[in-house]
Structure 1
Amino acid sequence: MAYAQPFPLAAPPKPEQTFYGPDLAVRLICPDCRDPNPNIIEEFGSGDLVCGTCGLVLGDRVVDTRSEWRTFANDEGDDPSRVGGPSDPLLEGIGQLDTIISFRDGGSGMARELQRAASRAQNTRSERNLLSAFRDISSWCDQFSLPKTISDIAKQLYKRSDEEKLLRGKPLEAVIAACIFIACRQAHVPRTFREICNLTHVSKKVLGQCYKALEQAFNLSPGAQNHNSTNGTQVISTGPEDLLIRYCNHLDLPPYFHGICKDIVVEARNRGIADGRSPISIAGGAIFFTCFLLGKPKSLREICTVAGVSEGTVKLVYKLYCADKDKLVKQKWIDEGKANLDRLPPIEVAVAK
Structure 2
Amino acid sequence: MPTQICSRCQTDTETVVDHKAGHELCSRCGLVLVINLFDEIPDSVEYGDETKNPVSEIENCSSFNSNDQKTAKNQSKKGFEQIKVMADGLGLTKEIQDRACDIYGEVDIMKTCRGRSISSIAAACLFIACKEIGSSRTLNEISAVADGVSKKNINRTAEAIKKQLEVESWILQPGEFIRRLCSKLGLKNRAIKAVQEAVERAQHLDIRRSPKSVLAAIIYMVIQLCQQDPVPVKDIAMVMEVTEVTIKKSFKDISVYATRVIPEWYAGEEDINKIPSP
TM range (shorter): 0.5 to 0.7
| Deviation at residue 249 of structure 1 after TM alignment | 2.1
Give SS of 1:124's match.
helix
The corresponding residue for 1:316 is 249
CA deviation vs aligned residue, 1:68-110 (integer Å, no higher than 9, x gap): xxxxxxxxxxxxxxxxxxxxxxxxxxxxxxxxxxxxxxxxxxx
- SS of 1:298's equivalent? coil
Displacement of 1:325: 2.8
Alignment correspondent of 2:163? 212
1:309 deviation in Å? 1.0
Instruction: Tell me the equivalent position of 1:271.
Output: 205
- Distance in 1 of aligned mates of 2:242 and 2:143: 14
Unaligned segments of structure 2, at least 5 residues: 1-66
**Change in 2 beyond 3 A, CA 1:278/1:191:** farther
Tell me the equivalent position of 2:188: 254
Aligned to 1:245: 179
SS of structure 1 residue aligned to 2:101: helix
- Higher mean Cα deviation, 139-148 or 298-307? 139-148
The 1:341–1:241 alpha-carbon spacing in structure 2 relative to 1, beyond 3 Å, is: farther
Q: Distance in 2 between matches of 1:330 and 1:154?
A: 37
CA distance 1:158–1:191, shift in 2 (3 Å) = same
Q: Give the Cα–Cα distance (whole angstroms) in 2 for the partners of residues 330 and 155 of structure 1.
A: 41
Which residues of 2 match residues 86-101 of structure 1 at below 5 A?
none
State the shift of 1:250 in Å: 1.6
Q: By how many angstroms is 1:239 displaced?
A: 0.4
CA contact (8 A) 2:136 2:174 kept: no
Decide whether aligned partners of structure 1 residues 294 and 125 sit closer, same or farther in structure 2, where only a CA change above 3 A counts.
Answer: same
- 1:301 is matched with which residue? 234
Work out the CA distance in 2 between the residues paired with 1:158 and 1:176.
7
Q: How many residues align?
A: 202
Aligned to 1:169: 114
Contact 1:288 1:300 (C-alpha < 8 Å) held by counterparts: yes
Q: How far 1:161 sits from its partner (Å)?
A: 4.0
8 A contact 1:304–1:311 mirrored in 2: yes
Distance 2:143 2:263 in 1: 38
Deviation by residue 1:282-321 (Cα, 9 ceiling, x = unmatched): 1111011012234343221221111111112212333334
Equivalent position amino acid for 1:311 in 2:
E
* Contact persistence 2:237–2:244 (CA under 8 A): yes
2:241 is the alignment partner of 1:290:
no
Q: How far apart are 1:175 and its partner, in Å? A: 2.9
1:294 and 1:340 in contact (8 A); partners too: no
Higher strand proportion: 2
TM-score, with structure 1 as normaliser: 0.49
SS at match of 1:295: coil
1:170-189 to 2 correspondences below 5 Å: 170-171=115-116, 172-189=118-135
Larger Rg: 1
2:213 alignment partner AA? S
Q: Which runs of 5+ in 1 are unaligned?
A: 1-120, 224-236
Contact 1:192–1:238 (CA<8 Å) still a contact in 2? no
| Residue in structure 2 matched with residue 280 of structure 1 by the alignment | 212
Report if the CA contact (8 A) 2:216-2:247 is conserved: yes
Equivalent residue, structure 1, for 2:101: 155
